[in-house]
Amino acid sequence: MKIGIVSDSHGSYSHIDSMLNHKEALAAELWLFAGDIAMDADYLAMVTDKEVIRVAGNNDWPGGRLPDYETADIAGHTVLLTHGHLFGVNFGLNNLQRAALDVGADIAVYGHTHVAVEETIDDVLILNPGSIARPRDAANGSFMVLDLQPNKSPVVKLIRI
């Protein structure tokens, strides 16, 4: 199953539209939105007509309608989705990796840093799609497509818009 991963669009629907011009994005059957900001996930769900699993970012109002983290069982894998600020991701990924193990996840997805990451730490695949609208690691924003199949290693593709 192909899963689109996007984060930190910060209200820029035009960057989401640019993302959806890519064939890889159109192939996604499900989306994970890692926060900042909530209404962009609504927009993504509306224009793709796909399910968007979403969490709150630090710029989403406290006490809002989104959870701080979600777990999802997808094609034999378990994904922990969270924005990352609550796990101190600016200072390393160990807290996030431990949280993934705590909930039985083999994949952790986060955002917040606006820097794309694909890293495996002690059997947990940790992914950050970067920011689609305000990248800090390149001129163009980025998103990921994750292909999950039962009993197979995840396949990750980072795409720059």
Q: Which is nearer to Mn ion, 36 or 40 (CB)?
A: 36
Q: Give the nearest distance from C-beta 64 to Mn ion in angstroms.
A: 14
Q: Which is nearer to Mn ion, 58 or 71 (CB)?
A: 58
The residue written with tokens 């920011």 in the block is: 131
Sheet hosting strand 116-121, strand order edge to edge: 69-74, 77-82, 107-109, 124-129, 116-121
Contact (Cβ atoms closer than 8 angstroms) between residue 134 and residue 59: no
Q: What's the rounded Cα separation, in Å, for the pair 130 and 153?
A: 22
CA quadruple 71, 7, 110, 143: dihedral, nearest 10: 100
Q: Give the nearest distance from C-beta 23 to Mn ion in angstroms.
A: 28
> What character string, x for contact with Mn ion (CB under 5 A) and - otherwise, covers 27-46?
---------x----------
114 binds Mn ion (CB under 5 A): no
DSSP 8-class letter at 61 = P
> What character string, x for contact with Mn ion (CB under 5 A) and - otherwise, covers 45-84?
------------xx--------------------------
Q: Give the nearest distance from C-beta 97 to Mn ion in angstroms.
A: 19
| Binding site residues, Mn ion, CB under 5 A | 36, 57-58, 112
